[in-house]
Chains A and B, each alone.
Chain A
Amino acid sequence: MAVTDAPRIVTSRIGFDDSHTLERFLATGGYEGLRKALTMTPEAVAHEVDAASLLGRGGAGFPAGRKWSMLRKNPVSYLVVNGDESEPATFKDHLLVERDPHQLVEGVLIAAYALQVSQVFVFLRGEFALGLERVQAALNDAYAHGAVGEDIFGSGFSVDVVLHPGAGAYICGEETALLESLEGKRGFPRIKPPFFPAAIGLYGEPTVVNNVETMSNLPWIIRHGGAAFAALGEGRSTGTRLFALAGHVRNPGVFEIEMVKTTFADLIHAPVLGGGIPHGRELKAFIPGGVSAPWFGPDQIDLPLGQDEVAAAGSMLGSGSVVVMDDHTCAVRAAWRITKFFSRESCGQCTPCREGSGWLERIMERIETGSGREEDLDLLLDVCDNIAPGLTWPPQQTTICVLGPSIPSSIGSAIQMFRDEFLVHIKEGGCPYG
């Protein structure tokens, strides 16, 4: 599928109907990575991950190896796997938990071994009914198989893994809110500093939080070595990455793509990937990394799918979701919808996000439905500025977590790229797209 000939790292079993079963897993190299890891020292395992330059796949893109090595200074108590994946148009972890749950479990065990933790929590979005069922089944199989629990594969290493369903709040994907939720509290993000999970995490103990996809890369990395992973991609963006392609393309879906070597143009247009924009329409804009990210226009379509490359251009790869908007899309309505999402999903804890999100939503609604005023554009930007001072990228924030400063991304992009469209809404008293 990939346009380069890079191997499939996390989706190698997806083609099989029974990709989620232990039999298929074992028949296709399952647990080889774990068995190998158990013969290595934990340090050596962590070293391979460091050498792989595996960037976190949950959104922030922090190198997993570095996160772990910071923690090695004080012993880690818990590993927490983030599978909350609730952002609109983001659905790549969804695929992994449903189609290759054993791979996730194996990755989790490798990480647990490297970090020498004895307790892991896997937090999955509550709506992932099938995913929850399959990960639970995979865990049960793994216990029966001797891969989890006491004395894994006779190595003397023991670890327990608990699967925890989320209760339907997007904010619980934010790692500190997730920890609160795991502790049985309201999903309110914690303030960093000082509540970096690495320092004061679950139950106040040092904790590693990693994304489902991050974990799913580990079996391959251990089997083939960090260097083989680092040989793929370019610069800091190594290996392959899953992209959830959504919006106005012929083939929406999840694609595993070698990083940097592929461009957004490839992803959107290549016949084996997005297959282009249907109905003979033109590209109007695309969101490169989930609805928290600033938008790109057609002029940026040749940017490579690399973390630093996209960052340098003023946005992010974020959650690995690429949303394509064709030229029949109303930019105001698109930004309004995204704002509405954030306003509903704000945890309500801190003032700028709680009140700002609702206010921005109301202003956007007014403009879209024909009651806009010209001064609303400056007002929108200034309200955004009070959430994310300076409207820089990456954003500064007056809020506790980065959900707040994610709100200005789409509003700011829409105004900056499509100011005229706003003015038409205002002058004509409604949406020109009907």
Chain B
Amino acid sequence: MADRDAARPGAGQDAAEATVTFTLDGREVTARKGEMLIAAAERAGTFIPRFCYHPRMSSVGVCRMCLVEVSGPRGATLQPSCFIEATEGAVVDTLSDKVKKAQDGVLEFLLVNHPLDCPVCDKGGECPLQDQTLAYGPGESRFVEEKRHFEKPIPVSELVLLDRERCIQCSRCTRFASEVAGEAQIDFIGRGEEIEVNTFPDLPFSSYFSGNTVQICPVGALTAAPYRFAARPWDLDQVESTCTTCAVGCRVAVQSSANRVTRLLGIDSDPVNHGWLCDKGRFAFEAVNDGDRVTEPMVRIDGELTPVTWHEALERVADGLRSAAADGPEGIGFIGGARLTNEGAYAWTKLAKGVLGTDSVDAQLGDGLPAAAVLGLPRATIDQAATAATVVLLAGDLREELPVLYLRLRSRVVGGDLSLVELSPQATASTPFASVSLRYRPGDAAGLARAMVDDTASLPAGTDPAALAEARRLTGSGPVVVVIGRPSLAEDGRLVAEAARILAEARPDCRFLPALRRGNVLGALDMGMAPGVLPGRVDLDDARAWFAREWDTVPERAGRDTVGMLRSAAGPAAGGSGDPDPTVRVRALVLLGADPTGDLPDARLAGEGLDGAEFVVQVASSTAALSTRADVVLPAAEAHERPGTTTNIEGRVTRLGQKLVPPGQAWPDWMIAAELASHLDADLGLDSLHGVWDEVERLAPAYRGITRSVLEAAGGDGVVAPLATSGVGISRRSVPGPLDPIAFPGVESVERQGAPPRAGFAESPTAVTTAAVATGGEGGAADASGREDGGTEGDGPPARPPLLGVPADLGAPRVPPTDSYTSRLVASRRLYDRGAAVAASPALAALVPEPPVRVNPHDLDDLGVAPGGDVLVRTATASLVAPAVADPSLPRKVVAADFNLPLAGGSIADLIDATAPVTELRLETP
């Protein structure tokens, strides 16, 4: 069994759920059928001590700490309460003398060989062994012999160290590795007292999820290199927040001391991360602490960025933007936004679209999907994907891009009844457990989708008919969720979106989960940071009148996306990269926490665009990400330094916690926009973070009803936008999660607004007060919160604009046929790349790989190059020589490489043409 979806959505609410009644310490208690005694007792307010039990993993019953007396045919016997189910009529005693003696005995046994080096142990102070010894253990030790010794510590990976002497053999780490991560790279060796956790010889525990083992180890046996000896737990302060390293939005406890983040721990959010984090999310905080931070506003003077006051900097920006808008507001473009909070994104959208009047705003950097598709396709939650009959993966490798989403889906495939249909140009980490993997050449995604839903459609070349038939069968009935992202950065996003559109049209009940990876990219899109849309998932034209009520202006026509802005800025100089709409050239670019040079798949276009722009403003937090082309740099607060909200791939809105004071003069992102507006002689009307949110809730249709009080009541799990009458957006964890200090040691005093205290855990998850959330879903019927809409609705038009629906036409480009000499490029992502977050985190930076180019073995053969040898990859405009390996998962004439990673011989971004539907290339011998 794998990571447990303890509460399938709706399961808890099911009144007909089967229950059993048993006697617990003399009182009658009701348990769910199949529930383990330990969990049933806990919900009934009786905590049974434990070590090996973990609510998110299968029970093994090995530590024997949870023994209770259960009466049976042969009288009462000691049974592990984590391993036997509550049964009707059972009589359970957790307090008898026999139980107490057993607990005492187990703890004494555990301490027999345990080194008492608590003073120098990272777990000291938050250690389940310490704590439970105090509560249930013997007062003194009767052991006088020599303890077992091991060499200590040994590294099991670059990030994790193991002190085998401290290990209590609970198998949490090994179970996590094999069951949850599916990477059984650590296991027990030896037996008896000599048993130890270890890796296989010369094979490190190289999992993206290794940090979780450190967090769930109930002793200090596993330690994380970045935290080892760094702090004592009692010196740490904590806030609850959401990880914005990617868009999964895992719930985290951010712990700090002396205004430095010391570590991040996963919080068990039932709908999202189940307590798990990926190592990037867990360890990237080092960038906040130690990455070279931008701390002052700077203006380029004589080629050098020179510190100035905020006033000077903003004046300079205002001047620059004004002159760029001389021919029209579209002369200004805004690129980026995924690093902003929702509040920041709204403020910048309002500045761009509502003050300056330009619609050229794009939070994505040519690596995403058309906003119309992301915002218009019916959205799925992670739970809906996990509990669907079939998930169609039409995205990059989820383990590389959205790691914890990968865990959630994997566990349901391996341990449940979810089928996976993968459409991808190359094998991914999900391929081994996918029911079907349909390989396609870049450009063929839409054709393949068409073939899946229409058996008269012609098959893209090379499609395996048997696999297609199986894919059709699996998607033919039952709930289907499509995870849609970018299988390749060298394939126009509209082609993939078109595939999704086809599936949505053919299967209207199909739901979609966008696999966009940048932190708050979904929040930024929701806040209107894309051309053609306005905040709240509405179309620019539909919503113009609605926003015109409150905004100074609203753009008259749709603007350019990032690629369009850069092409326009590059101007005639950019040979071939002409602007499809040359009326107003982009002259100023505002980079919002983004740098196209590293982030845009097409390096040449990025360079030409920035070079061509007359004026470049960059809002940045890390000097590592500074553009050499920036004329003005405005320092922004980073994650953990600013409160606000964020929105994940599901549309789930959660609150961010502020733990640190921003360094130097860095400001929260929304405030920079508001101040800049005043330098443009406008008033953004936003003077507090709460004020921004109140306006979002009031104006952005998809966020209607998500008031601050609703968010507060929803606690760490947040709410999914748009709120629906069914209350689907709110799920309440039904397993003991963060409050269980043994399951997630170190996570303390977690924010659990609205959740009843453990002792009073309700039998079925209660929805947050229905009145607070049950507003009309899409289109909005009654506003059950009781708040009137300022009377405007009653005054007639403008009416609240409708939410975007399935787009009718995405303008997907036609893919020209290729000749037999031409290959197509697949550019994929890796979790650890040259991005700023990894670069500035020493622990992670060391893990950045340098993978070779991958080629179909027959193609490599035809070329006469031995695997590992160099190939020459040539496009119409560029070429590079790099080592190549054979990858049998690739179709013929497909060449794959990883984006934004070191590659001997250059960078794959030099080859990608973002303006072409697919990047075509020739493979030659160097």
A binding-site residues for B, Cβ under 8 Å: 169, 171, 186, 191, 193-194, 343-352, 354-359, 362-363, 366, 379, 383, 385-387, 389, 396-400
Contacts and interface: CB of A to CB of B under 8 A. Distances in A.
B193 A346 contact: yes
A351 B62 contact: yes
B640 interface: no
A356 B106 CA distance: 9
Interface in B70-102: 77-78, 80, 83-84, 98, 101-102
Contacts of A363: 145
Contacts of A169: 191
B193 A348 contact: yes
Given A193-B84, A396-B77, A400-B61, A355 B101 contact: no
Main SS at interface, chain A: helix
Contacts of A383: 105
A359 B194 contact: no
Contact of A350 (B64, B98, B112): B64
Nearest to A362: B145
A286 B108 CA distance: 33
B119 interface: no
B169 A348 contact: yes
B113 A358 contact: yes
B192 to A, nearest CB: 4
Interface string B29-40: 000000000000
A355 B78 contact: no
B112 A355 contact: yes
A352 B169 CA distance: 12
A357 B193 contact: yes
Given A351-B110, A356-B109, A346 B191 contact: yes
B192 A191 contact: no
A191 B61 contact: yes
B192 A359 contact: no
Contacts of B194: 348
Given A348-B169, A355-B112, A398 B67 contact: yes
Interface residues on B, range: 35 or more
A169 B195 CA distance: 13
A52 B124 CA distance: 62
Nearest to B190: A348
B169 A398 contact: no
B63 A351 contact: yes
Given A191-B83, A349-B169, A355 B61 contact: no
A339 to B, nearest CB: 12
Given A386-B108, A389-B102, A398-B105, A354 B63 contact: no
Contacts of A171: 191
Contact of B78 (A344, A366, A398): A398
A349 B61 CA distance: 9
B112 A399 contact: no
Contacts of B106: 351-352, 386, 398
B192 A344 contact: yes
B62 A400 contact: yes
B109 A355 contact: yes
A279 to B, nearest CB: 36
A397 B104 CA distance: 15
Interface of B: 61-65, 67, 77-78, 80, 83-84, 98, 101-102, 104-106, 108-110, 112-113, 142-143, 145-146, 148, 168-169, 187-188, 190-195
29 contacts: A169-B191, A171-B191, A191-B61, A193-B84, A343-B193, A346-B191, A347-B191, A348-B190, A348-B192, A348-B193, A350-B61, A350-B64, A351-B63, A351-B110, A352-B64, A352-B106, A352-B109, A354-B169, A354-B192, A355-B109, A355-B193, A358-B192, A359-B145, A362-B145, A383-B105, A387-B105, A398-B78, A398-B102, A398-B106
Given A359-B112, A363-B145, A354 B193 contact: yes
A27 to B, nearest CB: 45
A363 B143 CA distance: 9
Contact of A379 (B65, B142, B188, B193): B142
Nearest to A187: B191
A396 B102 CA distance: 12
B98 A389 contact: yes
A356 B77 CA distance: 20
A397 B78 contact: yes
Most buried by B among A169, A344, A396: A396
Contacts of A397: 78
Nearest to A343: B192
B64 A351 contact: yes
Contacts of B109: 351-352, 354-356, 359, 386
B193 A398 contact: no
B717 to A, nearest CB: 33
A399 B110 CA distance: 14
Contacts of A347: 191-192, 195
A361 to B, nearest CB: 9
A399 B64 CA distance: 7
> Which 6 pairs show the lowest CB-CB distances between chains A and B?
A386-B105, A348-B195, A355-B109, A358-B193, A362-B145, A346-B192
A379 B145 CA distance: 13
A351 B193 contact: no
Nearest to B113: A355
Given A358-B113, A385-B101, 17 more contacts: A343-B192, A348-B192, A348-B194, A350-B61, A351-B65, A354-B195, A358-B192, A358-B193, A359-B109, A362-B145, A366-B145, A383-B105, A385-B105, A386-B108, A387-B105, A398-B106, A400-B64
Contact of B188 (A186, A389, A400): A186
A374 B62 CA distance: 33
Contacts of A386: 101-102, 104-106, 108-109
A396 B187 CA distance: 30
A354 B98 CA distance: 20
Contact of B63 (A193, A343, A350, A379): A350
Contacts of A357: 192-193
A171 to B, nearest CB: 7
Contacts of A191: 61, 80, 83
Contacts of B108: 386
Nearest to A349: B62
Contact of A389 (B78, B145, B169): B78
Given A348-B169, A351-B62, A351-B63, A358 B112 contact: yes
Contacts of A349: 62, 169, 195
Contacts of B148: 358
B77 to A, nearest CB: 7
A387 B67 CA distance: 12
Contacts of B192: 343-348, 354, 357-358
Contacts of B62: 349-351, 400
Contacts of A345: 191-192
B34 to A, nearest CB: 12
Nearest to B85: A194
A169 B194 CA distance: 14
Contacts of A194: 84
A347 B192 CA distance: 5
Nearest to A345: B192
Nearest to B98: A389
A354 B191 CA distance: 8
Contacts of A385: 101, 105
A345 B194 CA distance: 10
B273 to A, nearest CB: 29
Nearest to B187: A186
Nearest to B146: A362
Contacts of B80: 191
A396 B78 CA distance: 8
Contacts of B65: 351
Nearest to B188: A186
Nearest to B77: A396
Nearest to A171: B191
Contacts of B67: 398
Nearest to A386: B105
Contacts of B146: 362
A355 B111 CA distance: 9
